[in-house]
Amino acid sequence: MERDWRVILERVDDYRWKIPMSFMKGMKVPGLIYADERLLGHIREENTPIQVANVSTLPGIVKYSLAMPDIHWGYGLPIGGVAATDIEKGGIVSPGGVGSDINCGVRLVRTDLRMSDIKDKLERLTAGLFRNIPCGLGSEGKIVLSPQDEREVLRNGCKWAVKKGYGKEEDILHTEEGGSLPGADPDKVSQRAFERGRKQLGTLGSGNHFLEIQEVEEIYDEKAASVFGLFKGQITVMIHSGSRGLGYQVCEDYVRIMSGVYSRYGITLVDRQLACAPFHSKEGRDYFSAMAAAANYAWANRQCIMHWTRETFEEILGMNSKELGMKLVYDVAHNIGKLEEHVVEGKVIKLCVHRKGATRAFPANHPDVPVDYKEVGQPVIVPGDMGTASYVLVGTDLGMEETFGSTCHGAGRVMSRAKAKEVARGRNLIHELKEKGLIVKAKGRDTIAEEMPEAYKDVSQVVHVLHEAGISKKVAKMHPLAVVKG
């Protein structure tokens, strides 16, 4: 559908904006955008509200078509979009609603270290991470999977990695879904996807993916921070990566399949990029099984990267990971579809929740929150762009009620990658970042240009909206000390 610059937004309060069902023929639910007036300017300029409205026409969608404050234009569903469908009432599943980099996600590692412990070794730590963890477009890793091992990765995710010695059993407990999404079926993954995944396990990739050494700058919620093992002045490590070429291929394969079948199920689309199929159809079930397999690959990928991160710290600092206090705080998925039970119109129903560029954020006492975090809720990790802050938040009851327990996944782009490279022409960005106290190691100049801070919204403003709207609450803020990029 062509962009429509007449999108009507009704102000609900300072942080919520509604697209009424009267805006577009076929809307089954309203759209709901979380933003303040400043962020809304970026959102209107790109006209992403039209995508929010488009999503509201999908079969089986319930409650709202949601958009987080980091929303920007995406394939079909906007990046920063959330859509839940009732699978028992013709609800669909859509590859474009999950995203290309299936289970692109973030994990946060805490330590007992302070800046004084690593100041003289920060350059060596950064160089060691750059050396030990393969990164860059098309990069291949240290692990070459046999066909049998790759199938096991797709079935078991983190559990495979830990079994092979890439980490500890306790890591699994602090990974969303235990690092292994149920229903994964390697037989639903194409041979081309298998080929692309064979040599990429344990690699960072390129684009917005990164590995970052950080310092905790601020604590907002002492109780939650203490439960998560966080304190002011602490050194943390953040890992951002996904399912690499395998996940992209799964998405590409099923977009093609569903583009050819949706009309058979009587589905009319306002945007062909929203190609989908009923969840209970053959194509819907096949995609969900393949998507789960790709999600498991991504969890295993981040697990291996974390293992080599621990080894690098041990090597450079001359202490083992237990002495360093290196433990996984949590790992969250960004691009994923989940079967979850939620209350809709007073009834508990099973939904297929699409979170594309959005993060699960469950509240205290939810059964899916790790036992040791039950009293405060699930950690939510919101990475900033290169050179700016990142945040830890926690899920809330209000978020569970309004957003199916979802929140944002990052800052959100305001500049295309091509535009960012144009703006960066002639500038020495690595030097600029070094002047701000940030060490950068990267495979290529283009990646630095594409991911420069000006290309993104202000992550602190995005997080402020979440906090003030009450759908997740701030716990801690970290600023970067060193970053590794592809």
What type of residue is 258? Answer: M
Tell me, rounded to whole angstroms, the distance of Cα 370 from its chain centroid: 19
Q: Cβ of 371: how many Cβ atoms within 10 Å?
A: 7
Given the structure tokens 């970052």, which residue do they identify? 212
Burial class (CB in 10 A: 0-12, 13-18, 19+), 437: exposed
Taking Cα atoms as reference points, which of 305, 385, 360 lies closest to residue 103?
360
Distance (Å, rounded) from C-alpha 274 to C-alpha 271? Answer: 6
240 is catalytic: no
Bridge partners (DSSP) listed for residue 21: none
Kindly name the residue from 42, 72, 409, 467 that is annotated as catalytic: 409
Q: CA dist 444 to 55, 270, 429, 447, Å? A: 36, 39, 12, 6
CA 20 – CA 18 distance, rounded (Å)? 6
**Which amino acid, residue 79?**
I
With a CB cutoff of 8 Å and minimum separation 6, the contacts of 174 are 327, 328, 329, 330, 331, 370
Torsion of CA 71, 75, 81, 82, to 10 degrees: -170
Q: Cβ–Cβ contacts within 10 Å for residue 47, how many? A: 14
Angstrom distance (rounded) from CA 61 to CA 67 = 14
End-to-end CA distance of the chain: 35
Which residues does the annotation mark as catalytic? 409
